[in-house]
Amino acid sequence: MNAMLDMAKHYFSVRGHSDFQVVRMPSGDIQKLAHSHNMQRLRAQCEKQKNFTVENSKFIICPVLNEFEMDGSYGFTMPFCRGEVAPEFVDRASPNKIRTFIQQLIALVENFVVNSEVRSVDASQILNKSLSVKEAVQQNPLSPQVLTDLIDGHIESIKTQKTFELPIGKCHGDLTLSNIIFDDANDRYFLIDFLDSYLESPILDLAKISQETQLLWTSKLMSQTHDSTKYKIAMAAIDEEVQKHFSKYEWYKNYQSIFEFQNLIRVLPYARDQDIIQAIIDRLRALIKS
């Protein structure tokens, strides 16, 4: 997803892998636009963003101002939420500020868990999603054969399950740090770019957090210079604390690697950067071995 943050004299931008167009309008508002086949997907995301609530005073949902259709396109506008992208926040933040963010991020997802109910989900639902993603990955001309082999191993692991006992109820859907704007001046964080998920489960948000911590996702997508070493250390700290906290849940211990794998392959149909594709392949290999 794209986040464009106006920091006095320049823009900080984070490249994304969706087909949506995100621009800042002369009014200062942010416009998100989809064409033809992606219109319904963006409409569902807008609906989720409008109706989403959080029980955490530090996290603010960026509101939807209006929706519109024109020339075969659908879009909506949001106010410009002033702040920093994650790598810039980490660059300037003290260890205590970073610890506070980690605590608040865990509290956010824990609240999603509390507001969900553990249910039996037929394994075919998860399997069918991975099968459809495999087909989409194979249509990307940049996808090497090794990806098909890795995905086949992942699919076999799903087939060993009849059902998945998962928390169902609430999730952001795309909780990488590129979808959090850090308003450090006011000690708060804006949530943007919600994703309408095939499963409304917090385990998908935890998979997205792993995408960030394991692949340094927002750091890789950010074009501006930043302290990549400090970012790596911060992401390792998030990863450690998230695992420590959520390992109390059986569903996390049993299924986290499966959903992290599925999440990563869902990025591949849109990936055009060979370095990112290779980073995903390396992580998929580690997950298959785990």
Q: Cβ of 162: how many Cβ atoms within 10 Å?
A: 9
Could you tell me the pTM of the whole model?
A: 0.91
Half-sphere exposure of 82 (CA within 13 A, CB side): 7
CA distance 35 to 20: 8
pLDDT, tens only, 19-31? 789 999 999 999 9
Sign of the CA dihedral 171, 175, 179, 185? Answer: positive
Whether 103 shows a pLDDT value over 50: the answer reads: yes
Both structure tokens of 207: 């998979």
Q: Are strands 30-35 and 117-122 parallel, antiparallel or unpaired?
A: unpaired
Q: What is the rounded CA–CA span in Å between residue 204 and residue 199?
A: 8
Amino acid identity, residue 86? A
- In which element (H, E) is residue 99 found? helix 95-114
The beta strand positions in the chain, using DSSP E, are 3-7, 10-14, 21-24, 30-35, 59-61, 66-70, 73-78, 117-122, 163-168, 180-183, 188-191
Q: Give the domain ranges of the chain.
A: 3-78, 86-289
On the question of pLDDT at 6 being above 80, the answer is no
Is-same-fold flag (3-78; 86-289)?
no
DSSP 3-state percent helix, strand, coil across the chain (nearest 5): 55, 20, 25
pLDDT for 242? 98
pLDDT above 70 covers a percentage of the chain that reads 93
Spatial distance between the Cα atoms of 283 and 131, rounded to a whole number of angstroms? 19
137 Cβ contact partners less than 8 Å away, ≥ 6 residues apart: 143, 147, 148, 151, 265, 268, 269
Sign, Cα dihedral of 45, 46, 48, 49: positive
Q: pLDDT digit string (tens) for 39-83? A: 999 999 999 999 999 999 999 999 999 999 988 899 999 999 999
Architecture of the domain made up of 3-78: 2-Layer Sandwich (3.30)
Residue 17 has pLDDT above 80, yes or no: no
Of residues 19 and 226, more confidently modeled: 226
Mean pLDDT across the stretch 92-105? 97
Give the pLDDT of residue 18. Answer: 58
Q: Give the model's pLDDT for residue 289.
A: 85
At the topology level, CATH places domain 86-289 in Aminoglycoside 3'-phosphotransferase; Chain: A, domain 2 (3.90.1200)
Per-residue confidence (pLDDT) for residue 141, from 0 to 100: 96
pLDDT above 60: residue 107: yes
pLDDT of residue 4: 35
Element (H, E) at 204: helix 202-215
